[in-house]
Amino acid sequence: MPKHIISGLKYLAAVELRKNGYNQNQIAEILDMNRSTVSHYLNGRNISVNSVEVAEVIRDFCRKDFLTMVYTLLKDVNQTRTIVKICSNTSYKSNIGNSCIACGICSDACMMNAVVLDDLKAKINDEFCCGCLICGEMCPTNSITITEVK
């Protein structure tokens, strides 16, 4: 079953990329698939309706649950980051307050690998952030603000 769900998620990501003008070769490279599979997916072949429906339900979970589910299925940070960012289709802006004590809890917790410690302060790469808010929930000094960019 997990493999079918991953196929469904890759299908959703492939469709999203196609909508944004990527060709089949580029989609194959981004999603780590072979080009003929991408072609089949985009033409509605070799993908079960059930897989797509389950993937759509997961995609519509809150950001935290979606990220956690994708990470659990893929067990790979880079692939998780790719699928979640493409399927989420939303940008976020972060701010770290001066109360940050550089404990590193946020960077350890971030499944998107979006947080680093730099010059005794956490820094978030907004390009990778998916707005799951896990870092903010775990920060002992309430230093993290994440806002959706409209």
Give the whole-angstrom CA distance, residue 61 versus residue 140. Answer: 26
The binding track of 17-56 with respect to ligand SF4, each residue x by CB under 6 A or -, is ----------------------------------------
**SS3 state of residue 34:** coil
Residues 71-100 that bind ligand SF4 (CB under 6 A): 96, 100
Of residues 101-140, those binding ligand SF4 (CB under 6 A): 101-106, 109-110, 112, 114-115, 122, 124, 129-135, 139-140
Among 78, 141, 145, 148, binds ligand SF4 (CB under 6 A): 141
DSSP 139: -
Nearer Cβ to ligand SF4 (26/107): 107
Query: In whole angstroms, what is the distance from residue 87 CA to residue 39 CA?
Result: 19
Phi and psi angles of residue 107, each rounded to the nearest 5 degrees, phi first:
-70, -35
Q: How many angstroms separate the CA atoms of 131 and 106, rounded?
A: 13
Among 143, 145, 147, 150, binds ligand SF4 (CB under 6 A): 143
Residue 13 is a binding residue for ligand SF4 (CB under 6 A): no
Beta bridge mates, 96: 144
Query: What minimum distance in Å lies between the beta carbon of 99 and ligand SF4?
Result: 7
Q: What CA–CA distance (Å, rounded) separates 16 from 35?
A: 16
Contact 130, 73 (CB under 8 A): no
Residues forming contacts to ligand SF4 in the complex (CB under 6 A) are 96, 100-106, 109-110, 112, 114-115, 122, 124, 129-135, 139-141, 143-144, 146
